[in-house]
Amino acid sequence: MVVPAHDVNEGDLLKTIQLFKEVQEKIQDANTHIQTLCQRAETGEFATSKGISFLEVKYQLLLSYLMNLSYIMVKKTGGKSIQGDASIERLVEIRTVLEKMRPIDQKLKYQIDKVMKAAAGAPDSSDPLRFRANPGNLVSKLDTEMSEDEEEDEEVKGSKPKLYIPPKLAAVHYDGDETVAEREQRKLQHARQRALNSTMMREIRAEYTDAPEEIKESTNIHRFKEDKRTKEKERYEEENFIRMSVSKKEKNAAKRLGTMSSLNSLVHFDDISALNNDDGFSQGPSAKKRKVAKGIKKGRGKKKGFHKKR
């Protein structure tokens, strides 16, 4: 359909002519650039085989879209009908595929920008990927140990000789050559020595000896700490007019401290039993055995919850 000459706007006509001139100039620039790229690709200057396949598909679709669009424009400018043309269906199909590819394009945008920046020059200093681990900097443990040993050897060679310091070892008595009788005799001697140095024996010697009595003060460190803690607690209660509660742990500590007094040792004669026993100083079973035997006797009763049916 041809538009009459009197219906054509002069301003639109001038603008159309100007656009045609710009299109012609852009086409010439595009042809020159495309020919240069084709030559560089044919000579193998561009390693396109290791590129991103997604971009290759995208560019192929864009090129096909432009070709079909140019064909439609040529037919329309020539006054030919485009109704039922196959190029229109191809344009719709390509446009649909490009729209579906847009989310994938957004996901790969950061990776593509990184590759482009790396190819153009140095990476950006604010890029967070600069701080990722570099496998090339990882050294095996064996190499590290060898390098440390070499450094230690160099330091030993360069340093002055130092005095030999023997290792601190605690002396331990070897009783492998002792017989059972000798071992028991040695234990008995230790028990007698402890019995002679016990509190009861010291009091007996002080009472029946003719030597003048020695007056000395003995300090119990546990009792001293407990008395100090008690005084501080009382002072705090008197200053603040409050009564502090006593925990179960403090009650047990006070009870244990009471059993450690010297009066409690008067009813226990185990520490001097070695003075009257030549064969052995432990007549009865040990405390652990007595406790186990006591527990066994308690367990011999009837079990709760079980009754004999009549």
Question: What's the pLDDT at 183?
Answer: 85
Residue with tokens 């009813």: 267
Query: Is there a contact between 231 and 237 (Cβ–Cβ < 8 Å)?
Result: no
pLDDT of residue 225: 81
Q: Averaged over 110-138, what is the pLDDT?
A: 69
Looking up tokens 């109704």, which residue turns up?
83
Question: Of the candidates 224, 222, 231, which has an alpha carbon nearest to the alpha carbon of residue 253?
Answer: 222
Decide: 108 and 52 in contact? Cβ < 8 Å. Answer: yes
> Once rounded to an integer, what is the mean pLDDT over residues 70-76?
89
Percentage of the residues of the chain whose pLDDT score is greater than 70: 65
Retrieve residue 7's tokens: 């219906």
Of 197, 181, 186, 183, the C-alpha closest to 272 is: 197
- Highest-confidence range of 189-203, 242-256, 289-303, by mean pLDDT? 242-256
Closest listed residue to residue 192, CA positions, set 264, 281, 279: 281
Which pLDDT belongs to residue 306?
47
pLDDT on residue 60: 92
Range among 81-95, 107-121, 203-217, 271-285 with highest mean pLDDT value: 81-95
For 207-240, the pLDDT digits (tens) are: 787 877 776 666 667 777 888 888 998 998 898 8
Report domain extents, the chain.
9-121
Most trustworthy range by pLDDT among 103-107, 218-222, 296-300: 103-107
d(CA 76, CA 73): 5
Token pair, residue 117, equals 């920046």
What is the overall mean pLDDT for the chain? 74
Determine contact, residues 198/272, Cβ cutoff 8 Å: yes
If you average pLDDT over residues 97-112, what whole number do you get?
89
Q: What pLDDT, on a 0 to 100 scale, did the predictor assign at position 95?
A: 94
Tokens 């945008």 appear where? 109
- Nearest CA-CA partner of 274 in 197, 215, 177, 211: 197
User: What percent of the chain has a predicted confidence (pLDDT) above 90?
Assistant: 9
Provide the token pair at 95: 């446009």
pTM for this structure? 0.35
Alpha carbons 293 and 299: distance in angstroms, whole number: 10
* pLDDT beyond 70 at 191: yes
Query: What does the alpha-carbon distance between residue 65 and residue 96 come to, in Å, rounded to a whole number?
Result: 11
Contact 91, 72 (CB under 8 A): yes
User: In the predicted model, what is the mean pLDDT of residues 280-294?
Assistant: 49
Q: How confident is the model at residue 61 (pLDDT cuts 50, 70, 90)?
A: very high
Residue 219 Cα distances to 12, 216, 229, 231, 261, angstroms: 117, 10, 16, 17, 12
What's the rounded Cα separation, in Å, for the pair 79 and 2?
A: 8
pLDDT at 90 over 90: yes
Q: Output the pLDDT for position 67.
A: 92
